[in-house]
Amino acid sequence: MKSRIIIASVIIALSQVVSAQNIDDALRYSQNIYQGTARFNGMSGAFTALGGDMSAITLNPAAVAVFRSTEISITPQLFINKTNTTFTASSSDLTSKTGLAQIGIVSVLKTGSGSGLNNLSISYTYNRTNNFDQYSRIRGTLANSSMADYWASAAYGTNKSDLGGDAYLAQDTWLIDTLSGYNDRYASTFSYYGENAEQYGQSVERIIDNSGHQGEHTISFGANIADKLYIGAALGLGEISYTGHYEHSEYLTTGNIYGFYNFTYVNHFDAVGNGANFKFGIILRPIESLRIGFAMHTPTVYNMDETFYSSITSEFDSGNREAGTGTATYSYKLRTPGRINAGLAFQLGSSAILSADYEYLDYSTAKLKDGADGYNFDGENSDIKASLKAANNLRFGAEYHLGSMYFRGGYSYYGSAFQTGTLNENKHYSGYSLGLGYRQKPFYIDFAFSGLMSKEQYMMYSDSRLNPAEIKSNYNTFSATIGLKF
């Protein structure tokens, strides 16, 4: 099996390095931060009980049954991510990208009125469920360790002639070598391969440059019974496109350490995936001013394909070295957790709506399986169960309209996925949103701004002498929806 080296504690609590697919991958594709229509975004996605919105169908397929007429809409978005990192120095970086947040069509067949079946509805919608774009720089000074020491530790017990992956690259670029008298024990250039006292003080810079998105195509069917009960079912077809890339450099600004000047390590992989799930939901309206919503989503099973490579370049007073793994591919399957959504919505007079959502999912149930070479991921799945936990997510939204103008706001909270006692046990997301709309039959246009904040502890590599860097992220999204009703 391939040995793409990923620092698991980039996102998770474990300060360890594992090969290939790991908790990073399972969590990244399981933790949805929904995006959609500008109305949906402006109310922070609190639509499980409301329905009647294209993006609400992603949460609760019964939302399609609330529509009274055929409708189409499209929503472009601008996504901006600002990160602030702190190690022994600080850095601030910004990345932005445009994309499609939502597109969809709903068709409604009126079948009657009164106490029976009033409408049948069918829809196709696409909604973005994650933006992965991130650019961050970690800068500072390493006073007592190096990533080269990690590679020396990882190579321990392996005969020099049998080294593979990044440990081989480190050996081939003179960053590590065997101890005198041994063929399977290693030290780094910072102790002159175990012959002298360790010396450090080199500068470090790690550039993280990730990109991509996750989305879902949803085909839904719904029925409106007496304008009191709305039921729906849906097939969700998920898609993933992700690029993970980082460059880790260590260098001396003056002089050298045992002839060493600098090295740069590059780790890159591209992942694409396609998966499917099923959803069922209901919305109950016992009285005119109250709606109660409930929906269940089965786990999504993705077929994943990855392409990856890594390389190291180094400079010593005796020469320069360069080595790389070459490009390789790997396939596997990933099962993300199922979800339960519940919601309440209140109509206040004829002008205002208040809505609240609760979402439950258990990240520890994510599972990697069926590696292309027969690998069963037992160790990685044990780590997932030991490190991740169930999370509770909350979304609140409000809307007030004055004539044809609509004013919206919302708040969201996505609970930590990590077990108590782990490095990132307190990592959660909190967000807010504002929206404005104009509606005049058969046309409407909506605008929204949503912000989401999080903070994580990031380990560049596994070493008990290394402190984590702190990364604060601010995800800001601007969206606009144009829609028509027939």
Q: How far apart are the first and last CA of the chain?
A: 55
The pLDDT score that the predictor gives to residue 400 is 98
The pLDDT score that the predictor gives to residue 109 is 95
Segments in 3-107 forming alpha helices (H): 23-28, 38-42, 56-59
Cut 0.85: pTM above it: yes
d(CA 107, CA 17) in angstroms, rounded, equals 50
The pLDDT score that the predictor gives to residue 17 is 34
d(CA 25, CA 210) in angstroms, rounded, equals 13
Q: Would you say how long the chain is, in residues?
A: 486
Helices first, then strands: H and E counts in the chain: 6, 23
- Helix, strand, or coil here: 324? strand
| pLDDT one-digit tens code per residue, 426-460 | 999 999 999 999 999 899 999 999 999 999 999 99
Q: Low-confidence residues of the chain, pLDDT below 50?
A: 1-19
d(CA 204, CA 257) in angstroms, rounded, equals 15
Contacts of residue 397, defined as CB under 8 A and 6 or more positions apart, other chains included, come to 42, 43, 44, 45, 46, 47, 353, 354, 355, 356, 408, 409, 410, 433
The pLDDT score that the predictor gives to residue 20 is 54
The pLDDT score that the predictor gives to residue 29 is 96
Phi-psi category of residue 349: left, alpha or beta, with phi > 0 → left and psi -120 to 50 → alpha:
left
CB 212 within 8 A of CB 133: yes
CB 55 within 8 A of CB 74: no
Give buried/exposed letters for 308-341 (b at 16+ CB in 10 A, else e).
bebbbbbbbeeeebebebeeeebebbbbbbbbeb
CB 166 within 8 A of CB 126: no
- DSSP 8-state secondary structure symbol assigned to residue 418: B
The encoded tokens of residue 417 equal 């996925």
Domains and CATH numbers, the chain: 5-145+200-485 (2.40.160.60)
